[in-house]
Amino acid sequence: MLVATLLLLLACSDSYKISADTAVGLLESAEGSDTADTAEQVDTAAYEGATIVITSPRSGAFLPLGEPGRFTAEVRNPAGEVLPFAEVTWKSDVDSAWSLEGADVTDANLGTGTHALTATAVLPNGDRVAFGVGGVLVQSPYAGIYVGTLSVEGAAEYNGVPIVTACSGALTLTIDAEGEAAVGESSCPLNLFGFDVDTAYAFELEQDEGTLEGETQVLLYGFGTVSFDVEGSVDEDGTIEAGFGGNVFGVLDVTGDFEGVRVTRDLSGG
């Protein structure tokens, strides 16, 4: 009403002359502004009591290090209906340098660790809402603790008589969170020339896209230590295998191999 009155006064004024068309246009513009204000109030009211929910990733999810992961959150009214809202901020309790903006974002930069992620939003009505998920594990798809069996064979010759000996033992191998280094150990007793000789194996390997390379230090108690080159492979599904071989002090030819499976991705105790 105030706008219409001002327009009539301007139209009748000697200083300001406007046409009828111009007056109608100004009036419609003003009414449109009032309508927009009303619509904004309605939208704001729609967010009363709303909450935010993270839909991806879920608590306990595994995200491969360096691979794109999807981070999605929804703002919902008390009836559970999704409201349009995109201004969501993401944070991690482990990786302080990491953050995201958006309700549906793809990102590959979250660092290694077990994360609690929080999505926060300031709604149009001024309410601040947040939601968190925990136990989100980020590390190499090859990382984890593997257990399996080491098998070793030794061949020698004594007074022209060939001698063959063998042993097997439990193996534990750990690939680090970045998927770059693998370390492990095993042991088993070999019978050499009628004597049981305990042997211990310490593996130091490098992992690169499923390929394992490195060496094992072999300790033959009472005789000394030798090292053998190791070659093998590991896949993302969690199986590992490798082999090695060489000669011990010019007397014994040794060949060995091992295989194992990943029993956990959790490295906190490894």
Give 144's contacts (C-beta < 8 A, 6+ positions apart). Answer: 174, 175, 238, 262, 263, 264, 265, 266, 267
pLDDT value, residue 58: 97
| Domains of the chain, residue spans | 1-32, 51-139, 144-264
Spelled out in words, what is the top-level CATH class assigned to the domain 144-264?
mainly beta
pLDDT value, residue 146: 98
pLDDT value, residue 28: 46
Yes or no: say if 7 and 26 are a contact pair by the CB < 8 Å rule: yes
Asked whether this chain's domains 51-139 and 144-264 adopt the same fold, the reply is no
pLDDT value, residue 8: 41
CA distances from residue 107 to 32, 63, 68, 112, 223 in whole angstroms, order as listed: 41, 11, 5, 14, 54
Q: What is the mean pLDDT of each run of 10 residues along the chain (270 residues)?
A: 40 42 42 44 82 98 97 97 96 97 98 98 96 98 98 85 90 97 95 82 97 95 90 97 91 92 88
The domain defined by 51-139 carries CATH number 2.60.40.10 = yes
Yes or no: say if 255 and 152 are a contact pair by the CB < 8 Å rule: yes
pLDDT value, residue 57: 98
> Which pairing describes strands 128-139 and 62-64: parallel, antiparallel, or unpaired?
parallel
pLDDT value, residue 41: 53
